[in-house]
Amino acid sequence: MGSSTKGYKSICLEFASESEYQEKLKDKKAYRKYLDGSYQKYPELFPSEMGKGYTFCGFTESKKQEISMRRIKLKKNNEVYQIRPSFMMPYMVGKTDQLEKGLYLRKWGVPFEVLAYVFGGSAMFWYRAYISLGRPSIVGTTIKDVELLPKDLLADEKHTWINGDKIYAATTVAQGCLLGVGIAESAGTVDLTKAYKEFQTEALALDPNYQPQTVNTDGWLPTQQAWQQLFPTITQILCFLHSFLKIEKRAKRSKELFEILSEKAWHIYHSTNRTQFAQRIRRLREWALENIDAPELLAKVLELYVNSPLFQIAFDYPNSYRTSAHLDRLMNYQDRILYAAQYFHGTLQSAKLYLRAAALLWNFHPYGTRTRSNFPNRRSPFEDLNGFRYHDNWLHNFLIASSLGGKSFKHKKR
């Protein structure tokens, strides 16, 4: 399949320093050698027709940043691309190292006004720089090997608001990364299908035959219907945690009763096979009928029993997510940055870009000192997933990974 990178004509590559970049820029032979070596090492950063050959095609000049960038023309289709060094931000808004620390603070929702006060510029400058992070494909930028496309997913909606009206951030997660964030104006099947379709579109761009095996949801019917429409053969996994939380909500008045139910419920969860699970949940039902008087609480415990066949499906897929815990951690991150901004006050498009920027910032953010000390090989969710990094600095790493908007079709097997 040929590349579909219309609108994404910038190839982003690492250069050791600005001085090295300028030296290579002046030496066409050295520049070509570096470009060919980068293509051999990281073909996923280039258009798929790159291997058919290319010619140099002049320069792009940025008077504001006083930098020149070479352009190349592909022999296969005559398409022209510019080569941008990773030390420059997209659209030449500034030097990467000058914006890196400010954008890093956005992981904690630090207001744009504060970034302007500390680092200079205006609040709008920082807002636009942040929003620009959300433009590349989330899936294509995050996953650099088609075989790493996840077979098992988690999905749920984060409730938020725009100009006082409730909207829903349809969030797709796998392997510690946020892989999809679309906005639904309602919690109905039609709107949720359109919102989750953004993940499907980006995943199919990498692999037209992509078909996930399972998706874990909280049991909301429109969510399940949306995923069934997008991927007809997908298996729905009902989240055990959400079912337990319904019990917890109604059992809190009695600490002793809650502790008993909690022990019994998680004893069921830790069953090793279908038969054991079914036996333990039957025993819970028998115990509940004899010991629980509160009608609402009893109803939720019995609901756990009724849903037993749905929970048991997970035993057929040992790598599937049985609870939403991995999703909840990332949605807590969403919740923090949304609360810090007091939600949305603009357009749906700007809200979507804001959420996409937050997703990609999460995927590339560097882990803290404690994590790196305890796990020296872990540096970021991106590296956990892909097993490598393009650059030691998280923002350079992101910019290189987002080459061509993350929409190259030559993602390779590593």
State the number of CA atoms in the 13 A half-sphere of 41 facing the CB: 11
Contact 351, 184 (CB under 8 A): no
Residue 63, amino acid: K
Burial (CB count <10 Å: 0-12, 13-18, 19+), residue 123 = middle
Six-digit token pair at 148? 């790493």
Q: Is the pLDDT of residue 255 over 90?
A: no
* Rounded Cα gap, residues 167 and 348, in angstroms: 9
Per-residue pLDDT tens over the stretch 293-305: 999 999 999 999 9
pLDDT value at position 7?
A: 59
DSSP 1-20: -----TT--EEEE--S-HHH
Pairwise CA distance, residues 140 & 309, whole Å: 36
Does the structure show a pLDDT above 60 at 156? yes
CATH of the structural domain 139-235+343-374, one choice from 3.40.50, 1.10.3470, 2.130.10, 3.30.420: 3.30.420
Domain boundaries, the chain: 10-85, 96-132, 139-235+343-374, 240-316
Indicate if the pLDDT at residue 4 is higher than 50.
Answer: no
Identify the band that residue 402 occupies on the pLDDT scale cut at 50, 70 and 90: very high
- What DSSP state is assigned to residue 90? G
29 residue type, one letter: K
The label of the residue with tokens 């040929």 reads: 2
Greater pLDDT, 97 or 16: 97
